[in-house]
Amino acid sequence: MGGKLLSDAMKAAFRSLKGYNYRIWAAGALVSNVGTWMQRVAQDWLVLTQLTHNNAAAVGLVMALQFGPQLLLLPVTGFAADHFDRRKLLLVTQATMGALALGLGILTITGLVRLWQVDLFAFLLGCVTAFDAPARQTFVAELVREADLPNAVGLNSTSFNAARTIGPAVAGILIGAIGSGWVFLINAASFVAVLCSLSLLRLGQLHPSSRAAAGSGGLVEGFRYVWRRPDLKAILLMLLLIGTFGLNFPIFISTMSVTVFHAGAGRYGLLTSMMAIGSVTGALLAAGRAKPDIALVSAATAAFGLGCGLAAVMPDDRLFGIVLVFVGLAAQTVTTSTNSLVQLSTDPAMRGRVIAILLATILGSTPIGAPIVGWVADRFGPRWALGIAAASGLAAAVVGLRHLVGRST
């Protein structure tokens, strides 16, 4: 009996994979995601240990340049996702991202790379990602039926975080063996997989979302739509707090590894993978839910704050890694649940713009928080930087609680 229940639960959790289009998309995305996480670790390690002398602020600046375009280009990225063919848009953005990884890899293996060049490539990657992210998030709705959308979003996050488990650990080994430059080249090659998956989709089996009318309002209309929705305003404020001060894991993990635990690249990659174990668990749990709500998001932000506070006081890297599993689970529950909740509760014709606002809030807030968190890590130590992350999670939980109380009165 128990075996049958477990089997049914597993089938429900992976039901979107029954469809050909989603299955092909997921396979290509998994390969590309592994490469992306390998590059993230290699890039942070290159900046922290080769181009600077353990300068956390420099890592924070790279993060700011990479995620800043989410805010700068917000007036056009959501509009593009709502008005253009998303599959064709993704073909362009994914190919461009692969070319950028190739360029940075060549500079690095030839010994010509400089810090300003990493900053420039991070900014260019951020510009392309600003168009890619809302198109990719909303394209999922075209691959599955509306009833399977929460499951597909959860499986997308599972793929991303399964890659987060594999990629950093592999990158940590390869950085020591062959260097960061070759890791960038491997990431460039990984984009071939997702480009092939987009080309192999059966177009007749897609579920096109309603397109916004050509003359309909752009970003302003998106903000008006959000402003009329107290639930969306509460969610975005929670994400703003978490995104600004909490989701700066490259800074937290790299500085704790290097300056507190005095670990090498291999251990840094392993710690990043430890957090990803929790993230995969959180994503799988999200895939099994019918529909999340703000109460769940509020509880997850509180758990995130408590986890970061606990991580800040861990005495060694083993216990730190164990706590990171818990932190990853909580963070993934927040991000995946809000994505599903917003997509399901938003008018399809407005979905691209609202998702662009959501992504700009959670990712675009990093340019504000990352340099601040990096400065705190340099000046007072990475444990204090984690304390700021803990405070952001608890503050976000208060915002969610206030919304729930106000709704019930």
- What pLDDT score does 364 carry? 65
Task: Report the C-alpha dihedral over residues 327, 333, 338, 343, rounded to 10 degrees.
Answer: 140
- What pLDDT score does 164 carry? 73
CB 61 within 8 A of CB 212: no
Structure tokens at 47: 């900046």
Task: Tell me the pLDDT of the chain (409 aa) as tens digits.
Answer: 545 555 655 666 778 888 899 999 999 999 998 998 899 889 988 998 888 888 888 888 888 888 778 778 877 887 787 788 889 999 999 999 999 999 999 999 999 999 999 999 999 999 998 899 888 888 888 888 877 777 887 788 778 777 877 888 888 889 888 989 999 999 999 999 999 999 999 988 887 765 554 444 566 777 888 888 888 889 989 989 998 898 888 788 888 888 888 887 778 778 877 887 887 788 777 766 667 788 888 999 999 999 999 999 999 889 999 999 999 999 988 888 887 788 777 877 777 778 778 877 876 677 778 888 888 988 899 999 999 999 999 999 999 999 888 776 6
Nearest alpha-carbon partner for 364 in 96, 77, 85 = 77
CB 136 within 8 A of CB 26: no
Quote the pTM value.
Answer: 0.71
Check the CA dihedral 177-169-340-331 and report its sign.
negative
- Residue ranges of the domains in the chain? 16-408
- What pLDDT score does 214 carry? 47
Q: How wide is the angle at C-alpha 382 spanned by C-alphas 376 and 386, nearest 5°?
A: 90
Check the CA dihedral 391-53-364-137 and report its sign.
negative
- What pLDDT score does 289 carry? 67
- The Cα–Cα gap between 139 and 374 comes to 34
List the CATH code of the domain at 16-408. Answer: 1.20.1250.20
